[in-house]
Amino acid sequence: MMKRMSMVVLAVVLALYFAVPVLAQDMPAKEEKKAMVKEAGPVKQVACDPACGFVVQSRDEKEICSMVRQHAKTHHNMKLSDKDVKSKITDVPAK
Query: How does pLDDT run across 64-83, given as a tens digit for each residue?
Result: 999 999 999 999 999 999 99
- The model's pTM is 0.57
Mean pLDDT of the chain: 82
The pLDDT of residue 20 is: 66
Mean pLDDT across 24-46: 67
Backbone angles phi, psi at 53, to 5 degrees: 85, 0
Q: Whole-angstrom Cα distance, residue 67 to residue 74?
A: 11
Q: Taking the domains of the chain in order of start, what are their residue ranges? A: 1-40, 44-91
The pLDDT of residue 23 is: 53
Which run of H or of E encompasses 41? none
Which run of H or of E encompasses 58? strand 55-58
Proportion of the chain above pLDDT 70, given as a percent: 74
